[in-house]
Chains A and B, each alone.
Chain A
Amino acid sequence: MSRVKLERVVKHYGNVVALRELDLEIQEGEFLTLLGPSGCGKTTTLRLVAGFIEPTQGTIYLGNDDVTYVPPQKREIGMVFQDYALFPHMTIEDNIGFGLKERRVGREEIRHRVGELLDLIHLPGVQDRYPAELSGGQAQRVAVARAVAYAPRVLLMDEPLGALDLKLREAMQIELRRIQQELKITTVYVTHDQGEAMNMSDRIVVMNLGLIEQTGSAEDIYNNPRTKFVADFIGSINFLPAKIVGDDGEWSVAETVGAKVKVPKSGASSSSGEVAIALRPERLELVVNGGDGMNVVPGTISNKIFNGNLMRVFVDVGAREPVVIELPPADVHGETGDSVSVGWAPQNGQVLME
């Protein structure tokens, strides 16, 4: 178990910059997720830690050791691959014991340890089967067992649940998190699925175009996104184009789609240029009359979609896209075409730079 540290790491592929300048530290025992769209540099970062590629610049530490140019087999890392990468010609026992055998552990001890690991992943008794005889979820659990068999310093996971169907994926998220916490192993997880990241991680690193956009807990990132990219990538969100026009003491005052609204003070709210007010759909309301102390923007209902536990109401307020509001179906009054007002408490609107 060990801390991982990347210091000013840059990676170029020919003329393509995969990582601009990455500084990242993963604490001992922490479950850290690299989250971002494809091409954001998350997989490059993982492969740098694994040692499959070398950085163009910068240093990578495992614990206190500089491993920047140490080959993968000498890094004492475990890794779970997207396609499981189980060895088809070996039994489950030989697969899980692979790393132990490379470390010259004796046969009896391997046998014993594999038994323990199969208990850990709740899959006892499959020692003599072959990977082709397992289901996707079972194969993935075996891949995890193989990766942690020799108590590696760090566990890396590269979109390990991408090939599974939705239900199984959710069950596996809980399973992986349980295994990680039981072993207290430092884990770096890569995914493009924000739900997955939020369900499992101690800390999330949102990446875009080879840079870290924001680092923080799931709650932190959801409630206080620092950039439009992060706000947009995590959960769904509305953006209203706005301009800061004043200050009334407690709040900044912004003008958006023809209305004056109060917004929390922040770095962006002292800007004089174009900004955006970010609004989560579940923190918006349909206001019937007045709405004391709330920001209110008039509009027309353009569409309603029933989603079971909630109703999504699309309100055209004159911005480029309709504002989406999520409400319990019983709270929705009004039909498509009706004039309504969209309201929110000032602290629920966040000003972000355009």
Chain B
Amino acid sequence: MKARWDLILIPSFVLSFMLMAASQIIFLRASFYKDLGLGRQGEDIVFTNYGRFFTDEFYLDVLWLTIQVSFLAMLFTLVFGFPVAYMIARLRSRWAMILLAGIVISTFITIVIKVFGIYIMFSASGIVNQTLMGLGILDRPWTVIGNDAGVVVGLMHFTLGFGVLVLYSVVQTIPRSLEEAAQIHGSSRWRVWARVIVPLSLPGVTVSALMIFNMCMGAFTSAALLGGGRVFTLPVLIQRVVIMEVKYSMGGTLAAVLLISVLLINLLSIYLMTRMRKQRLVIT
């Protein structure tokens, strides 16, 4: 009899499922009870937490801000990442491997260290502000720490390396000969982009964009550190509600809203993509 090696997968599947699902279920379940303070919860199932979320402007603003900064960070990651990814994918020399290795390594450096780098550089007494003020370009320090722009920068710091890697693999699926074919048959560089590279990379870029957006929506560390305690995105707020205010139920509610809104945005994007594909606006 043939050995059923695939059975080996069962324990790890059960374990991952338990860890993933169990924690989610406990959290989501908690969202239906009332916080009684000091971490205690009521016994009846109620929807007051959700009611509060959708009636209190503060919470809605937090959700909207989270979506905004995530969207901006995603957009800038694509804008800055795609040319880099394209260049590396089209390099013929071994520099391509060196650059990729550099990006992989920097991606695996913990975000805390990377964010502190920004912190030091952009703080009021940091090298950027000191130089700009020394040159008379700024008359008072400009900083990205503790405001929305800072959070976007922090999120980009988190996603850019990853974005370049994903986009690199997207560009690699477009044979160079297609660009040459377009060129020899009359396309300028600009037309090659418009008629070949953009349409052919669009599906891959869309998937990359969703991945980056999802990463941003759930990012805590960079948002918390560069937000400086003054900018609340949903993950930052969840941490605050759970750890500082010990309101597990409200924390669960916020987590549930985050999960569902990310899910809805993704489903909506996929739906739109499918519709465009059906109309042959995008290749399959």
Contact = CB atoms under 8 A, between A and B. Distances in A.
Contact of B184 (A50, A82, A87): A50
**Which DSSP category, helix, strand, loop or mixed, fits chain B's interface?**
helix
A150 interface: yes
B178 interface: yes
Contacts of B188: 73
Interface string A143-168: 00011001000001000000000000
Interface residues of A, number: 26
Nearest to B200: A89
Contacts of B178: 85, 87
B12 interface: no
Interface string A55-89: 00000000000000001110101110111011111
Interface residues of B, number: 19
Contact of B175 (A83, A99, A103): A83
Given A83-B177, A88-B200, A146 B185 contact: yes
Contacts of B180: 50, 52, 72, 79, 81, 85
Contacts of A83: 175, 177
Given A73-B186, A73-B187, A81 B283 contact: no
A30 B65 CA distance: 68
Nearest to A75: B184
B191 interface: yes
A89 B185 contact: no
Contact of B181 (A51, A75, A87, A89): A87
Contacts of A98: 182, 185-186, 195
Contacts, number: 64
B186 A103 contact: yes
Contacts of A50: 180, 184
B183 interface: yes
B39 interface: no
Contacts of B182: 87, 98
Contacts of A72: 180, 183-184
B191 A102 contact: yes
B20 to A, nearest CB: 38
B211 interface: no
B186 A85 contact: no
B196 A78 contact: no
A99 B283 contact: no
Contacts of B191: 102
B174 to A, nearest CB: 9
Contacts of A71: 183
A73 B183 contact: yes
Contact of B199 (A52, A77, A89): A89
Interface in B176-215: 177-178, 180-188, 191, 195-196, 199-200
Given A81-B181, A89-B199, 14 more contacts: A51-B184, A52-B180, A71-B183, A72-B183, A72-B184, A83-B175, A85-B180, A86-B181, A87-B182, A89-B282, A98-B185, A98-B195, A102-B186, A103-B186
